[in-house]
Amino acid sequence: MKTVRERSSQRGKICQPTSNTLPIFKRYDRKQDGRDLFIYGTKCHNLPWQKELPPLSDKPQSHLRWHPLRQEWVCYAVHRQNRTFKPPAAYCPFCPTRTDILPTEIPYRDFEVAVFENRFSAFAAQAKTIPQLSIDSAPAIGRCEIIVYSSVHEGSLGTLPLKHLELIVRVWRDRYQDLMARESIQFVMPFENRGEEVGVTLHHPHGQIYAFSYIPPVVAKMQQAFREKPILQELRQTMGREYYLFNDDRVLAFVPPFQRYPYEVWLTTHQFHPGLWTFSEAEITSLANTLSQVVRLYDRLFDRPFPYIMLLYAAPKGEESYFQFHIQFLPCLRTADKLKYLAGCETGAGTFLADLLPEETAARLRQLRDEEKL
């Protein structure tokens, strides 16, 4: 294991192991507009810095306004109206910069995993001037990051090699530890939006990481539920194996008996963990393998790339004794060519009208799993 720090000859920034035990390296650079850029890999990244995208002409300005009936903050980030929208593959901002003619967000010829502050961030680390209003308002403090899964423009979590998926899980863990250590941050949520059906405007395989200065309302409800009892541990023991999809000694993927979205799948661990930062190496491998199996199963369901929202839920600050880490996949397809839309009852009342029984979902996915030998 290398412990010596290696430096980029071009930028003079540090590339070093993220721990004394794992062969994972992190290179740090700062973009010309001040945003952080991290390159993660199984070896030290020392490729020279290429040309990068020029800074935006306008500085992002965001703020929060309190919704008195919903009892939640609404974030106003009007600069995001001008964010990149479905560029051709040749102009993808998440591909490596291979020529000075087409600079991207990642100014290297190649990389394994890249993380950088979102160019169109909804949150900011420092307080901004907020408008004087007749309702409660506040600065939109926090951080929004992009995690680019690989330098290859095509692919998904289901097509990446297992070792590369393990690297991504370790990157998530490192970002959790970095962001949660910041005094202003209360909750961190990595997530992935996949498919134009859920609003994706950039097709290079990537996810996002949002760090909140407050506890979002959905998480606050989870937080209270976990305080009352160990819900996921009890559910794992009582729901029955007919809901199981993939299960080993460490990680379980299952259809929740109370699913709201068609083909909804959750992942959790047999042992209690508040977040990835307490996972063993064996559990990281198991989680990576299970993630791959779930996404490959989804893609075989209708023989097409399957659109979904994937959400990683770890303990908010101070809730590490109660809150169980888990992952939720929320798909939006109910058939090969029909979307699940949130209409009046779901949006207006918060009561979901489910099109499929969880038992039918689990049976269909298990049948496909066995046919494909996943």
Q: Which two tokens stand for residue 350?
A: 């918060």
Q: Quick check: 206 and 94 in contact, CB under 8 A?
A: yes
Q: Quick check: 116 and 39 in contact, CB under 8 A?
A: no
270 catalytic residue (yes or no): no
From residue 334, alpha-carbon distances to 87, 308, 343 in Å are 28, 11, 15
Full DSSP string of 240-290 = -GGGEEEE-SSEEEE--TT--STT-EEEEESS--SSGGG--HHHHHHHHHH
| Catalytic position from the list 45, 63, 164, 206 | 206
Q: Quick check: 178 and 327 in contact, CB under 8 A?
A: no
Burial of 278 (C-beta count, 10 Å sphere; 0-12/13-18/19+):
middle
Give the residue carrying structure tokens 């949660």: 180
Q: Quick check: 133 and 115 in contact, CB under 8 A?
A: no
Pairing of strands 14-17, 25-30: antiparallel
d(CA 307, CA 77): 26
d(CA 50, CA 96): 9
In sequence order, the 6+-apart residues with CB closer than 8 A to the CB of 113 are: 39, 40, 41, 147, 148, 149, 150, 164, 167, 168, 171
> Residues with catalytic annotation?
206
